[in-house]
Structure 1
Amino acid sequence: SARGNGRDGKQGIRGEQGEAGDDGDEGNPEPPGITGSHGEEGNIGQPGEDGDQGLVGIRGEHTMGG
Structure 2
Amino acid sequence: MVEIQLNGEKRQLASPLLTDLIAELNLSQQAIAVAVNRQIIPRSQWAEHQLRVDDKVDVVRAIGGG
Same fold, TM-score > 0.5, yes or no: no
Q: Higher Cα Rg: structure 1 or 2?
A: 1
Could you say which TM-score interval applies, normalised by the shorter chain?
under 0.3
More strand by share: 2
